[in-house]
Structure 1
């Protein structure tokens, strides 16, 4: 991949993140991004936990969904999710630093499929997420 495509991917994700108030609330830190790939990190906060004192399932799901959105849009075509699923493997607690890594598995003109791994800071797998996106004809203007 050329530096130009990485620059464009970053510009697209910058534009998305600017208006993505939920990802901002999550406290997402962008670690790495390129076409078809995105790695994000965040810290689980107390207000993200449920009555079992573990992270609400929506927290890891939301982090994975943001990684999916950034990775799938990074090619330049606007993409929206049409189907997603998650398997929660290990509980997360307040203070846990988690990473989501989204990787493209398949891409056609209209549909793309991504796998997202959610891992604890130790590298322990916490969740597996799969996302399918519809690739619109609309290009990002960045």
Structure 2
């Protein structure tokens, strides 16, 4: 397994290149390390529901992407198997939101991550928890001339 911080940026770039939904959200990567990620995005009117507030799936999706980037940054391909979110405040068009994810547990097959979303006024919007299955498939194959961690 590789937990190479330099590869984390490359892995997230590879993920975003194949992730039309995260690109549609306008996600910007602020920081990425194996087991840690921070993302930002702007809530737009086309993300709103019939109540003229952001659809709950917007905050959920930002947090899921944030945690997914953090776990995949370790080098192995991983997908969510269980997720939950508690939403405390509604998001409005024009809100700039930041999601910060941290690793709670990393095992051979599973990783557990929590993420907090705040708005531009540092008001807590949501808390997210995700469990991710870590496959044996690697984002970047190790160089056969070097030892693999």
CA displacement, residues 2-58 of structure 1 (integer Å, 9 cap, x when unaligned): xx8221111110110111110000000110000101100000000101111111000
Q: Distance in 1 between matches of 2:41 and 2:115?
A: 15
Q: Which has the higher helix share?
A: 1
In structure 2, the partner of 1:100 is 99
Structure 1, gaps ≥5 residues long: none
Q: Distance in 2 between matches of 1:14 and 1:91?
A: 30
Q: Secondary structure at the match of 1:63?
A: helix
CA displacement, residues 86-118 of structure 1 (integer Å, 9 cap, x when unaligned): 001011100000011111000110011000101
Structure 2, gaps ≥5 residues long: 142-149
CA displacement, residues 51-80 of structure 1 (integer Å, 9 cap, x when unaligned): 111110000001011101100100001111
The reply on whether 1:39 has 2:49 as its aligned counterpart is: no
Q: Distance in 2 between matches of 1:29 and 1:9?
A: 15
Q: TM-score, normalised by structure 1?
A: 0.95
The reply on whether 1:126 has 2:125 as its aligned counterpart is: yes
The reply on whether 1:14 has 2:18 as its aligned counterpart is: no
The reply on whether 1:24 has 2:23 as its aligned counterpart is: yes
Cα root mean square deviation, aligned: 1.1
Runs of 4+ more than 6 Å apart: none
Q: Distance in 2 between matches of 1:18 and 1:6?
A: 19
Count residues with an aligned counterpart: 139
Counterparts of residues 56-75 of structure 1 (less than 5 Å):
56-75=55-74
Q: Secondary structure at the match of 2:4?
A: helix
Q: Secondary structure at the match of 1:117?
A: strand
Q: TM-score, normalised by structure 2?
A: 0.91
